[in-house]
């Protein structure tokens, strides 16, 4: 589609590394300003929401009325540049466009902008709402601000397409996650007299073994049809201060991946159960845990069926195979949209090297996605 490659390259050229990941990075403001100018010139109503230093853009193409509104959601922030050479200078080699954010997900954002512009210029019944957000890679400040703003205004759309890279397949589920911090208490003593103390590091070892055992139990469960099974693992562990002293304290971070259908709070409950079992085996164990971050798993609702039909039709018109339905092992902001009552699917162009030093976007996917998305917007908002 005309202009989509050029806009992708332009967006890659605007550094939007998330300062929550790389302190001092510029964030999304310059990209928001650039897209706001462009979309205002195309007749979209512009709203800037969220923290002043981390703005997100809501650009609404007004329809004639009589049709449902559709949101197109993409994030503008990227992870750090790592060792990528010239990360913010888009380079095109054949059907590859290379640069930080090209795949995750400035190509998807560019396609959404171009498709929305085209649909609005042709005329739609319902509104087309571009939600181009900050901070997806860290704390989701942007999408939460957008949903709060639209919800308070009574303007939540009839459905949402999240344009994360899916290689033109459709994600209809993803796992959630929770992070639990565990603190273990001991009693310091000289290592030559271990009976005088309580070694928190020994308790930490038992905790790690119990976490591994629980993970194996989860892997044996019947898998969710798209999201697979949950998991439990320790990702951080510390304990002790000196080689000849029993550790007075130790700590660990335990991460739980959840699948649709598992209850809220399952991570904290499982870690608390592990601590209780350790205490039952050894009354000297003193520990406490707390959940510090959690995101819910997601599964597309039945109300998203119309979106799926239109995506299939768009890819068929582009000469591509019917998109596969799959579940992602990682979390995405589709869960936030659906929790707000907006039926959602995840569908976008991709390439390779996400969060790596060789990130690139497949331009044939980008062009077909933009064309298919334009058809979807016109049909859904009719």
pLDDT of residue 281: 86
In this structure, the answer to whether residues 273 and 228 fall within a common structural domain is yes
Residues 199 and 96 in one domain: no
Q: Tell whether pTM > 0.95.
A: no
Same domain for 316 and 291? no
The DSSP output letter for 323 is P
| 97, two tokens | 């466009």
Rounded distance between C-alpha atoms, residue 221 and residue 274, angstroms: 19
Are both 39 and 186 inside the same structural domain?
no
The single residue of 28, 77, 104, 127 carrying the catalytic annotation is 77
What total of structural domains would you count in the chain?
2
Q: Do 190 and 208 belong together in one domain?
A: yes
The verdict on 68 and 81 lying in the same domain is yes
122 and 86 share one domain: yes
pLDDT for res 2: 61
- Domain residues for the domain of 208 are 176-295
Per-residue pLDDT of the chain (382 residues; tens, 9 = 90+): 469 999 999 999 999 999 999 999 999 999 999 999 999 999 999 999 999 999 999 999 999 988 999 999 999 999 999 999 999 999 999 999 999 999 999 999 999 999 999 999 999 999 999 999 999 999 999 999 999 999 999 999 999 999 999 999 999 999 999 999 999 999 999 999 999 999 999 999 999 999 999 999 999 999 999 999 999 999 999 999 999 999 999 999 999 999 999 999 999 999 999 999 999 988 888 999 999 999 999 999 999 999 999 999 999 999 999 999 999 999 999 999 999 999 999 999 999 999 999 999 999 999 999 999 999 999 999 9
User: Is-contact 161 373, C-beta < 8 A?
Assistant: yes
Residue 136 among the catalytic residues: yes
Q: Active site includes 77?
A: yes
Q: Are residues 129 and 242 in the same domain?
A: no
| Shared-domain flag, residues 106 and 156 | yes
Residues 13 and 110 in one domain: yes
Note the pLDDT of residue 283: 87
269 plus 332 within the same structural domain: no
Q: Residue 284: what pLDDT?
A: 86
Same domain, 339 and 228: no
Q: For the chain, where are the alpha helices, taking DSSP H only?
A: 4-12, 29-41, 107-122, 141-152, 200-219, 266-281, 305-317, 334-339, 363-380
- The last residue of one of the domains, among 258, 279, 295, is 295
Q: Which of 28, 117, 136, 270 is flagged as catalytic?
A: 136
pLDDT score of 285: 85
We report the CATH number of the domain holding residue 278 as 3.30.70.360
């Amino acid at each position: 589609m005309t202009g989509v490659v050029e806009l992708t390259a332009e967006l890659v050229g605007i550094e939007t590394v998330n300062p929550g990941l790389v302190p001092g990075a510029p964030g999304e403001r310059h990209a928001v300003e650039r897209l706001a100018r462009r979309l205002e010139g195309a007749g979209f109503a512009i709203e800037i929401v969220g923290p002043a230093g981390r703005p997100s853009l809501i650009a609404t193409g007004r329809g004639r009325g009589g049709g449902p509104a559709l949101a197109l959601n993409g994030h503008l922030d990227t992870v750090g540049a790592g060792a990528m050479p010239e990360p913010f200078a888009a380079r095109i080699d054949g059907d590859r466009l290379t640069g930080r954010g090209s795949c995750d997900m400035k190509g998807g954002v560019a396609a959404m902008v171009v498709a929305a512009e085209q649909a609005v210029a042709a005329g739609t019944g319902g509104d087309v709402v571009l939600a181009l957000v900050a901070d997806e890679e860290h704390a989701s400040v942007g999408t939460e601000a957008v949903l709060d703003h639209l919800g308070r205004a009574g303007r939540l759309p009839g459905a949402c397409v999240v344009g994360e890279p899916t290689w033109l397949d459709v994600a209809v589920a993803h796992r959630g996650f929770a992070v639990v911090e565990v603190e273990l208490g001991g009693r310091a003593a000289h290592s030559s007299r271990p009976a005088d103390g309580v070694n928190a590091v020994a308790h930490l070892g038992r905790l790690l073994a119990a976490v591994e055992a629980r993970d194996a139990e989860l892997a044996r469960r019947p898998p969710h049809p798209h999201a697979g099974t949950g998991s439990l693992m320790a990702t951080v562990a510390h304990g002790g201060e000196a080689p000849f002293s029993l550790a007075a304290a130790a700590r660990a971070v335990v991460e739980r991946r959840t699948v649709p259908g598992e209850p809220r709070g399952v991570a904290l409950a499982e870690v608390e159960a592990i601590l209780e079992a350790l205490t039952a085996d050894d009354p000297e164990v003193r520990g406490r845990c707390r959940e510090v971050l959690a995101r819910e798993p997601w599964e597309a609702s039945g109300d998203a069926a119309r979106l799926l039909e239109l995506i299939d039709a768009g890819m068929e018109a582009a000469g591509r195979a019917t998109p596969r339905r799959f579940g992602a092992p990682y979390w995405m902001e589709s869960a936030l949209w659906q929790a707000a009552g907006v039926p959602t699917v995840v569908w976008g162009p991709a390439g390779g090297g996400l969060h790596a030093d060789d990130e690139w976007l497949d331009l044939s996917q980008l062009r077909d996605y933009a064309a298919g998305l334009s058809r979807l917007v016109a049909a859904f908002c009719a």
